Amino acid sequence: MMKINYGYQITLNDLSNLEIDIFICANNNEARKYCLFDKIKRNNFIKKSISLYYNNVFDSRNDLEYKQIKKHTEVERILDDEIKACKKEELTIIVDYSCMTKSWYYTILLYLSNSDNAFKKINCYLSYTPSRFSLPLAPKPNSDISPLPGKIIMPNNRPKALILGLGYEENKAQGIIDQIDPAKIFLLYSKPTIDKRFTEAIEINNANVINDFEETTYTYDFSSLLDIENKLRAIYYKYNTEYNIIISPIGPKPFTLVSMILSIIFPEIEIWRIGSGEDINPYPREPFNEDHFIICEIVYKQNQIT
Amino acid sequence: MNKIKLAVVSDLHCHPSTEKNPSTHLFTDLLRDDVNLHPVASLIEYHQDFLKDEHSNVDYLLCPGDVTNFSNLQGFISGWDYVQEISKMFQATFTYATLGNHDIDSRHKNSKYFQKIPKGIKKGYPIADEEIGTFWEKGYTFIEKDNLQLLIVNSTHYHTHHEESESPTIKGEISQSAIHEIDRYLHDKNDNSKIKIMMCHHHPIQQSEMNLGPYDFIENGEELMFVLAKYNFDLVIHGHKHYPKLKKYETDNGKSIPVLSAGSFSATNQISFTSKFNYIHIIEITKDTNQAKGVIKTPNYKYQVGWKNNSEGFDFLTGFGANKTSAELIISIQEIMTNTDVIDWNEICETLPDLRHIMPQELEEIKTSLRMVGCSLSFDDSNYPETIYNNKLLRERRNGSKFSK
Amino acid sequence: MAVNFQNSFNARNLDPKEIAKNFIYSQSFDVLKNKCHTVILGARGCGKTTLMKMLTLPALYNWDYIGAHKFIEDIPFYAIYIPTDISWLYKDFALNDTKIDKKIIDLVSKFSVNTNIFESVCDTFLNVITHEFNNDDSLLDAEISLSLILIDLLKLDFDIAPRLESIKENLRYRRNIINQNLSKLIYNNNYDFEYFDFLHLNYIDVLPLILDHFKRIFEPKKNSWALCFDELEFAPIWLKKQLYTLLRSTDQRILFKLSSSPILPKEVDEVLKGDAGASLGNDFEIIKMWDTNSQSSNEFSKKLIDSLLKKKNIRVRAKDYFGSNFRYLDGLETYTTDSEYLSQIKSLATKDISFREYLINKNIDPQNPIPTDKVQLASVFRKIKPIVYYRNYFIKDNTSTKISYSINKKYIELYSGYEVLIGITDGNPRWLIGLINSILNRSDLHKADTNIQYDEVERTSNRFINFINNTPYHKQGSKISIIEFIERVGDFFKESLLGKVFNPEPYSSFTYDSNIMDFTEIIEKGLLQGAFILLDEGDENFDFELNNKRFRLSYMYSHQFKLPLRTGKEIKVDKIISDNITVPNLFNYDEN
């Protein structure tokens, strides 16, 4: 098994002159889906580029291989096939998770951490293309409030501390609070963010829940993965001895990514999702800026202790 | 017998909160309304709660450098004020610092001369004027007290100028001539009854973790260590790495010196997804018949949690200077446990005082060996051993006791 | 700080000492302490967890009640509290969603439950030692002896310190080992799962031995132990089946106290109905945390309100503090011409032609509606009282072909007052405490203004409705969602009460027959969350089935659907939900 050794937030310029074994992104109707791919393919050597889709393929490109994913476990199978074919000491993989559903990129992270392989080191780059602001649509009813699949944690008798990363659709936050019934609740939302309208929408649409839990509401810098990490760690360290920590990221994906990574570093952290199944709101998601990416490099190394 | 107590506060990296990419929890403009967000305010509270009954005053406060961050002027001024505030809290008689790579303006951002700012801080920085000696001139100085011989090295002495493109975490350095002078000095003033400590910023020996680079140790550091070992130095303290570590350095002349890489007092994690906390070290050293033994307490600080006694990242309670090896101690403990079913760790330390002065690795060896002979340990809240149980003997005795079937 | 229903009173997250501080003694608690197996049923927030936790020693010893000491002496067992929660449910789903072999899943599921039980047992032992023994060296010896036995029986690592805290820590560590094993198993096809011998431990076999050893070593005051399994609706099916089977057990050392939602899954129901099934009355007692005639739940609510007022140093009587809502007072109305009620009758009769016709049919003069005799008083006047008030309040004119309604933004008179506050939360402590505390936070020491009461009733009702609406529900195909179901039922009842034709017995409850239309999941979820209240006859022969049972909406929906706090006539729910019936929107404006 491999362990996340460390990570850095990097810029697009750092993604150059690399030999990339696998590039994975998602295919849907969002405009930003290939922004990163189109940028990096020119000055990097990418051996395999895969575009994952759920029901429909929305485009047709020669430089991508399209693979359908109906269930998150199929992502494991794809990684199994691609990674086992790679006979190297060091693997480099880039994941553009901008358009991915949570279970897909969580599966990738968990897979890299838990699967046996012969690599001494895995360099995994996770990239997100922020989108322009679009008005929040009326929320769809909750059909599913449950842990993200892929990780099993045996329940124990301790009370729960819920950390909610707020999004800008109403009622999601309240839904999970009611369902989980935690002993402690922490709310985090992005401020500053790339467009202040996002923050305003979050504050308006979550006014009730922010008011109820004002004392344990914090903000984070949307563009700083380290800031997100520090905020989450602070809560974790304070409460993890007495509480089961659950993070439910229902807002921006960089927050979700950092939450997921921390749940791998601290195996007792659970990630929960709130979904409306296939009945989701379609947002156009134009890229905010063609050169603006939030990229995280994480390095996995073989775990010395078994 | 000589005895001293000292506190080590290292790598504050103080700077204003308006700086992009914050590197510290200890901003120059940080309010104290929430104590757990302020490392110094939290330390004061911790000091009142935990240390007040333990004779918490120290004789010396040592600061191995990087008071400020990238030579930030306000960071330097406020950072040194914070150090002095901590010193006052501990009622330290003397406070000594050395320069770190962040304390000098080698890129001439704020001044034309790389040592202009550190020399202008005054207020006893880095050493009181009357004791500064050859620090500025030669990059080192000696502080002589009745019970202490302290060598303070400025490993940034040669960091005069660097281009923008160069990394600031470049090597420390001490010149061969300086080492030669130190050798001569120590030859002339070789009083082994004194507790002998060397403090510097960069690590004098090579170590590499987390891809930080194994290259920023002190050039000629090994030679310096050789000289220190020759004159039976008792402890070396350095900063820079932010990762606390205590280990013995074996020199070529067959001697060993404990080296404490001090944890950072307040620097934040600049590398993601690594568990790094902040630390302060409180060290009590006794020296009898030329043998120094130390006990180190290292509370750690976590943002929003405050200072706590736990052993995350570094054992809260550790030591150095044990005469006996861990193997010898294991044999002694096993002999005691032959006819003992339950004994408190403190009690066994009275019989084997060297147990208080073992390093973290040695303690791990003892724990493992106890398990192998059918003993178990319980631990206190700081994860330090509390009680040893001889499970094997307890089972045997239980069968004949009133509690047996 | 704003009162929110999370921190208002959630027994799940309070430790027993804190529960004891706010505990209101009730008859249910008396029943629970009996030396027999007990099943306690009710919706979320109804107080089951509070009762269970109150049985534990830390709660009992911190109970500030004049009879507490005697109660502690009388209670014939030590309670071992074993919580479950929603994680249990999802852990099982998650396991079944992987490629892991079913045998391993079952093993791991049982391991998980057993480990939690053993941990709870250790906690209980520590509580007994702390509260009932003097701390001296012999106590330490005894704990060490017991711990060594536990290390053997629970197959723990031989090199752990023989102390109960170390045992607990080791049990926690085991969970981590299994978590890691499962991760490896999920992501590696060739990984062989490690079948540790502790995976096969079974509390049914091991626990009696452990308890016997405790008794031998410590000689405690009590000889019995009660395993208090809380919130079993979240437990795996195999555990539920096992526990309901164990209700037949006659081993007096171990009693079972089970708490659950009122409806059991089919598999468990089959166990109870089987030949070896435990029977109510003979093998176990039942406590229903709801009440058909609302008497005992109202009594509980009154006591709870009194305690909240006392905490705020309000010395006024609750009824005086909140004022009475005369619409809910029985026996005090007069039937003289100048009485409030008869004025209401007259007023309604002038604007509601259907009501006037009703009175005439009953030989009552609409302009002088005095009851002629006691029979008429009871069968007509008392019976239609809330209907009259509500129709008179909401109807503007019903004398022409089209009915029109008054535009009222607030219904203060209808939803304020002591009687409303007692009844509106259906005796659910969590919502009641939240509601009353919200009112008290905005009121002074002498009186709670009816405006404020109404605002908080509305806010609490909306919060409750939001809570129900947020309940995840998988809408299958063209079936309706839980929100749609409730809206159709509520609108139907509203129409029945406030529609064009006066109805002296409007519908306000429904029965369910799964053979006609399957709403099982909706009703189960609704019952668990408290959206629906089960109306049984108070019969001890409770059969846990949904079919042919009668339900009503929680009174927390009264505000939304403009209904009185009263249970009325029933109708089969399929008649409401079937596609043929369209329910008009009676109020054509945005009321919010």
The tens digit of pLDDT for each residue in C404-417 reads: 998 877 889 999 99
Contact status of C208 with chain B (Cβ, < 8 Å): no
Of the two residues A78 and A1, the one the predictor is more confident about is: A78
Quote the CA–CA distance of C552 and C531 in Å, as a whole number.
9
Tokens (6 digits) for C67: 């009879």
| Main-chain phi, psi angles of C557, to 5 degrees | -90, -5
For residue B19, what are the CA distances in angstroms to A127, B166, B373, C516? 26, 21, 56, 69
Contact yes or no for A154 and C4 at CB 8 A: no
All structural domains of chain C with their residue ranges: 36-272, 471-592
Among the residue ranges C1-10, C132-141, C175-184, C201-210, the one predicted with the least confidence is C1-10
Confidence at residue B181, expressed as pLDDT on a 0 to 100 scale = 95
| Main-chain phi, psi angles of B11, to 5 degrees | 50, 65
Judged against a pLDDT cut of 90, whether residue C498 lies above it is answered with yes
Contact yes or no for A115 and C86 at CB 8 A: no
Q: Which of A73, A117, A145, A154 to mutate to test the interface with C (most CBs of C within 10 A)?
A: A154
CB atoms within 10 A of CB C445: 12
Confidence at residue B94, expressed as pLDDT on a 0 to 100 scale = 97
In sequence order, what are the beta bridge partners of B149? B144, B196
Confidence at residue C590, expressed as pLDDT on a 0 to 100 scale = 34
Contact status of A268 with chain B (Cβ, < 8 Å): no
Q: Residue B349 belongs to what domain range?
A: 326-398
For the segment A44-66, the average pLDDT, to the nearest whole number, is 92
Segment holding A298, helix H or strand E: strand A294-302
CA A259 to chain centre: 7
Tokens (6 digits) for C57: 């020693």
Confidence at residue C589, expressed as pLDDT on a 0 to 100 scale = 37
Q: Report the largest interatomic distance among the alpha carbons of chain A, rounded to a whole angstrom.
A: 55
* Sign of the C-alpha dihedral computed for residues B161, B162, B167 and B173 taken in this order: negative
Minimal Cα distance from A226: which residue of B? B272
For B378, the closest of C142, C158, C163 (CB atoms) is: C163
C 427-466 residues with CB < 8 A to A: 466
Does residue B45 contact residue B306 with C-beta atoms inside 8 Å? yes
User: Model-level pTM?
Assistant: 0.89
Cα dihedral A225, B299, B296, B344 in deg (nearest 10): -120
Do B384 and B313 lie in one domain? The reply is: no
In sequence order, what are the beta bridge partners of C534? C551
Judged against a pLDDT cut of 60, whether residue C351 lies above it is answered with yes
State the DSSP code for A23.
Answer: E
Q: What is the pLDDT of residues C252-276, one digit of tens each?
A: 899 999 998 877 777 777 777 777 7
Q: What is the pLDDT of residues C103-133, one digit of tens each?
A: 999 999 999 999 999 999 999 999 999 999 9
Q: How far is C159 from chain B (nearest CA, A)?
A: 5
Contact yes or no for A234 and B210 at CB 8 A: no
Minimal Cα distance from C165: which residue of B? B378
- Give a yes or no: residue B116 inside a domain: yes
**DSSP 3-state of B95:** strand
For the segment B263-275, the average pLDDT, to the nearest whole number, is 88
For residue B24, give the CATH number of its domain: 3.60.21.10
How many helices (H) and strands (E) would you count in chain A? 8, 15
**Residue B165 — very low, low, confident or very high, per pLDDT cuts 50/70/90?**
low
In sequence order, what are the beta bridge partners of C570? C509
Confidence at residue A93, expressed as pLDDT on a 0 to 100 scale = 97
Contact status of B271 with chain A (Cβ, < 8 Å): yes
Do B262 and B377 lie in one domain? The reply is: no
**Residue C5 — very low, low, confident or very high, per pLDDT cuts 50/70/90?**
low
For the segment C334-340, the average pLDDT, to the nearest whole number, is 75
**DSSP 3-state of A238:** helix
Judged against a pLDDT cut of 70, whether residue B9 lies above it is answered with yes
Nearest to B71 by CA among B118, B25, B32, B138: B118
Q: What is the pLDDT of residues B282-341, one digit of tens each?
A: 999 999 888 899 999 999 999 989 999 989 889 999 999 999 999 999 999 999 999 999
Do B191 and B56 lie in one domain? The reply is: yes
All structural domains of chain A with their residue ranges: 2-132+288-302, 144-275
Q: What is the pLDDT of residues B44-90, one digit of tens each?
A: 999 988 776 666 789 999 999 999 999 999 999 999 999 999 999 99
**DSSP 3-state of A164:** strand
Confidence at residue C470, expressed as pLDDT on a 0 to 100 scale = 81
Q: Where are the beta strands (DSSP E) in B22-88?
A: 60-63
CB atoms within 10 A of CB A70: 8
Judged against a pLDDT cut of 60, whether residue C1 lies above it is answered with no
For A174, the closest of C97, C179, C466 (CB atoms) is: C466
Nearest to C565 by CA among C294, C291, C290, C297: C294
Portion of chain A with pLDDT greater than 90, in percent: 69
Task: From chain A, pick out residues whose CB is under 8 angstroms from the CB of B304.
Answer: 234-235, 237-238
- Give a yes or no: residue B270 inside a domain: yes
For B273, the closest of A237, A238, A298 (CB atoms) is: A298
Confidence at residue B78, expressed as pLDDT on a 0 to 100 scale = 97
Judged against a pLDDT cut of 50, whether residue C588 lies above it is answered with no
Contact yes or no for A7 and B210 at CB 8 A: no
Strand order in the sheet with B235-242: B140-144, B148-153, B195-200, B235-242, B256-263, B245-250
Do B237 and B381 lie in one domain? The reply is: no
- Give a yes or no: residue B403 inside a domain: no
| Main-chain phi, psi angles of A116, to 5 degrees | -75, 135
Does residue A159 contact residue A126 with C-beta atoms inside 8 Å? no
Judged against a pLDDT cut of 90, whether residue A28 lies above it is answered with no
Using the structure block, give the residue that is written with the tokens 């909160």.
B17
Of the two residues A302 and C591, the one the predictor is more confident about is: A302
- What is the number of CB-based contacts under 8 A between chain B and chain C? 41
For C91, the closest of A142, A154, A277 (CB atoms) is: A154
Quote the number of domains for chain B: 2
Contact status of C159 with chain B (Cβ, < 8 Å): yes
Judged against a pLDDT cut of 80, whether residue C83 lies above it is answered with yes
Contact yes or no for C87 and A171 at CB 8 A: no
Touching subunits of B (3+ CB pairs, under 8 Å) are: A, C
For the segment A151-160, the average pLDDT, to the nearest whole number, is 90
Of the spans C44-53, C261-270, C476-485, which averages the highest pLDDT?
C44-53
Q: How far is C500 from chain A (nearest CA, A)?
A: 34
Do B182 and B253 lie in one domain? The reply is: yes
Quote the CA–CA distance of C298 and C302 in Å, as a whole number.
6
Judged against a pLDDT cut of 80, whether residue A230 lies above it is answered with yes
For B376, the closest of C141, C159, C217 (CB atoms) is: C159
Do B311 and B349 lie in one domain? The reply is: no
Of the two residues B177 and C590, the one the predictor is more confident about is: B177
Do B274 and B344 lie in one domain? The reply is: no
Phi/psi region, residue B26 (left: phi>0; alpha: psi -120 to 50; beta: rest), is: beta
Confidence at residue C98, expressed as pLDDT on a 0 to 100 scale = 81
- Give a yes or no: residue B405 inside a domain: no
Q: Domain ends where: B320, B339, B374?
A: B320
- Give a yes or no: residue B115 inside a domain: yes
In the chain, the amino acid numbered A63 is D
Quote the CA–CA distance of C427 and B404 in Å, as a whole number.
51
- Give a yes or no: residue B118 inside a domain: yes
Segment holding B258, helix H or strand E: strand B256-263
Contact yes or no for A171 and C2 at CB 8 A: no
Portion of chain B with pLDDT greater than 70, in percent: 91
Q: What is the pLDDT of residues A72-116, one digit of tens each?
A: 989 999 999 998 888 889 999 999 999 999 999 999 999 999 998
**CATH number of the domain at A144-275, please?**
3.40.50
Contact yes or no for C10 and A183 at CB 8 A: yes
Judged against a pLDDT cut of 60, whether residue C153 lies above it is answered with yes
Does residue B14 contact residue B68 with C-beta atoms inside 8 Å? yes
**Residue C592 — very low, low, confident or very high, per pLDDT cuts 50/70/90?**
very low
Strand order in the sheet with A294-302: A2-10, A294-302, A121-128, A90-96, A22-26, A49-53, A65-68
Tokens (6 digits) for B70: 């990238």
Pairing state between β A65-68 and A49-53: parallel
Confidence at residue A106, expressed as pLDDT on a 0 to 100 scale = 96
* ipTM confidence: 0.90
CB atoms within 10 A of CB C491: 18
Burial class (CB in 10 A: 0-12, 13-18, 19+), C582: exposed
Judged against a pLDDT cut of 60, whether residue B214 lies above it is answered with no
Judged against a pLDDT cut of 60, whether residue B210 lies above it is answered with no
Task: From chain B, pick out residues whose CB is under 8 angstroms from the CB of C165.
Answer: 378
For the segment A11-22, the average pLDDT, to the nearest whole number, is 94
Contact yes or no for B377 and C141 at CB 8 A: no
Quote the CA–CA distance of C193 and B151 in Å, as a whole number.
58
Confidence at residue C88, expressed as pLDDT on a 0 to 100 scale = 83
- Give a yes or no: residue B180 inside a domain: yes
Of the two residues B280 and B252, the one the predictor is more confident about is: B280
Which residues, including other chains, have CB under 8 Å from residue C97's CB and lie 6 or more apart? A149
Do B331 and B207 lie in one domain? The reply is: no
Does residue A45 contact residue A69 with C-beta atoms inside 8 Å? no
Q: What is the mean pLDDT of chain C?
A: 87
